[in-house]
Structure 1
C-alpha cells in the first residue's frame, strides 16, 4: 500500500500537471456503476455516480496537496470551494494523458475507473486494479470525520509530542510498537514498509510492547521514522507491487530498503523471520532486533 512518500511523489507530479485546469465532464467505469447499483462502494464513495458526474462538471482544480496518505484536490465551482479526497488503497494510480492509449501498462488502462475530461481536451484518470482506493467529494474535511482524526504531519513541530502522548495512553501503551507507529492517528503516513525499516535501524523488535520502550528511545525512533520518510520522498518512493507515480513512473527507494521483504538480514546475514502484527506481515532479524 502506498505510504506517505509515495503519495507525496504523486502530489508533486500531479499538481503542476493538473492545477488550474477545469473539468468538462466525467466518465465512470461500468464496474463502479454496477457496484453502486448493488449498494456497494467501489472507488466512488459517499455519492451516487449521477450526482458525482453533475457536481464535478465545471470544477476548476485550484490546488493539489497531501494530507497523510490522502491526496486533496482543492476545487472551485461557481464561487464555492470543495474538496475531492483520494486514497490510493493498494493499487490506485493517477494519470494525466491525452488519451487512455497513453497509459502504457495494460493493467492500469483496463482498470481506469474515473476519467475526468478537461476543458482543454486532456484526461485526468484514476485507475485502480483492485479497487481498494477511493475518490470522495466533500465540502471540507469536517464533512468526513475520519479525516480529522489523522495525526499531525510527521514533519510538523508538534508531531513528535503527539506521538509520545498517544503512545502513553491506555489505548496504545500495551500494543506492539510496530502496530502503534503504523496507526495513522499516532503518526501520519508511516505504514508497513517504513515502520519495518525504522525498527530495523533502531535494532528494535516489532512486537516489543510500547510501554516498555523508554522515552529516549521513543524520541529516537520518531526521528528515524521522519528521516526515512524524507529519504524515500527524495527517492520518489518505493515502487513495490503495483505502486506508480503519475503516468506510470516508478520510484527508487525499494533499492535502499534494508529489511522490508528481505530473506537475509542486511547487517548480519542471518535469515529473517516474520510475524503478523495488526494484520500485516512484519519482517525482522531475530539476532539484530531485540
Structure 2
C-alpha cells in the first residue's frame, strides 16, 4: 500500500502538469459502474458514477495537495469550490498521458477506471488493479468526517506532542507499538514499511507494549519515523509491488530498506521473524529488537 512518501511523490509530480487545467470529459470503467449497480460502490464513493462524472465536467483544477495518505484535488466550477478526494488503496496509481496506450504496464492499462480528459486533450487516468482505492467528490473536506480525525502531519511542529499524548491514552497504551504508529489517528502516513524500518532503527520489537516504552524511547522512535519518511520522499518512495509514479516509474527507497521484507538481519545475520500485527505482516530481528 502506498504510504506518505509515495503519495507525496505523486502529488509533487501532478502539480506542475495538471494544476490550472479544465476537465472536459470523464469516463468511468464498466467494472466500476457494474459494481455500483450491484451495491458495492467500487472506487467512486459517495455518489453514482454517472452523476460523479457529470459533476466533474467543466471543473478546473486549482491545487493538488497531500494530507497523510490522501490526495486532494481542489476544484472550481462556476465560482463554487469542490474537492476530489483520492486514496490509492493497495494498488492505485495516477498517469498523465495522451492515450491509454502510453501506460507502459498492461496490468494498469486494463484497470483504468477513472479517466479525466482535459480541454487540451491530455488525460489524467486513475488505475487500480485491486480496486481498493477511492475517488470521492465533496464540496469541502469537512463533508467527509474521517478526514477530521487524522493526526497532524508528522513534520508539523505539534506532531510529536500529539503522538505522545495519544500513545498515553488507555486505548493505545495497551497495544503493540507497531499497531499504534500505523494508526492514522496517532501519526499520519506511517504504514507497514516505514513502521518496520523505524522500529528496527531504534531496536524496538514491534510487539512491545506501547505503555511500557519510556518517553525517551517514544521521542527517538518518532524521530526515526520522520527521518525514514523524509528519506523515502527524497528517493521517490518504495516500489515494493505495484506503486508507480505518474510516469509509470518505480521509486528507489526499496533499495535502502534494512528490515522490511528481509530474511536475514543485516546487523547480526540471524534469520528474521514474522508476526501479524493489526492485520499486517511484521518482520523483525528477535536478537537485535527488544
Bin of the TM-score, shorter chain as denominator length: over 0.9
Residue 255 of structure 1 aligns with which residue? 255
Q: Secondary structure at the match of 1:189?
A: coil
The aligned residue for residue 184 of structure 2 is 184
Task: Name segments (4+ residues, structure 1) moved above 3 Å.
Answer: none
- Structure 2 residue aligned with 1:63: 63
1:275 is matched with: 275
SS at match of 1:247: coil
* Corresponding residue number in structure 1 for 2:40: 40
Task: Tell me the alpha carbon deviations over residues 89-133 of structure 1, each in whole angstroms, 9 at most, x when there is no partner.
Answer: 010000010000100100000000000110001111000000000
1:137-176 correspondence to structure 2 within 5 Å: 137-176=137-176
SS in 1 for 2:247: helix
Measured in 2, the distance between the counterparts of 1:118 and 1:145 equals 30
Matched, 1:289 2:289: yes
What does residue range 27-176 of structure 1 map to in structure 2 within 5 Å?
27-176=27-176
Q: What SS class does the counterpart of residue 199 from structure 2 fall into?
A: helix
Count of aligned pairs: 290
Aligned partners of 2:21, 2:177: CA distance in 1, in Å?
Answer: 44
Aligned to 1:220: 220
Cα distance in 1 for residues equivalent to 2:2 and 2:26:
25
- Aligned ranges 1:206-217 → 2 under 5 Å: 206-217=206-217
Rounded Cα–Cα distance in structure 2 between residues aligned with 1:153 and 1:48: 32
Aligned-pair distance for 1:171? 1.1
Partner of 2:199 in structure 1?
199
SS in 2 for 1:17: helix
CA shift, 1:213, in A, is 0.3
Q: Please say if 1:23 is aligned against 2:28.
A: no
User: Which residue is equivalent to 2:231?
Assistant: 231
Deviation at 1:172, TM superposition (A): 0.3
Distance in 1 between the 2:206 and 2:53 partners? 45
What whole-Å deviation, never above 9, does each CA across 1:24-72 have from its counterpart, x for those lacking one?
Answer: 0100000000001111111100000121111100010001000000000
For 1:35 and 1:244, the matched residues in 2 are separated by 25
CA deviation vs aligned residue, 1:186-231 (integer Å, no higher than 9, x gap): 0000000000000000000000000000011101110110000000
> 3-state DSSP class of the match of 2:35?
helix
TM-score (norm 2): 0.99
Instruction: Specify the SS of the correspondent of 1:246.
Output: coil
* Alpha-carbon RMSD: 0.5
TM-fit CA distance, 1:78: 0.3
Deviations 1:240-269 (A, max 9, x none): 100111120111000000000000001111
Give me the whole-angstrom Cα distance separating, in 1, the residues matched to 2:83 and 2:111. Answer: 24
SS at match of 1:248: coil
Distance 1:40 1:258 in 2: 39
Q: Which runs of 5+ in 2 are unaligned?
A: none
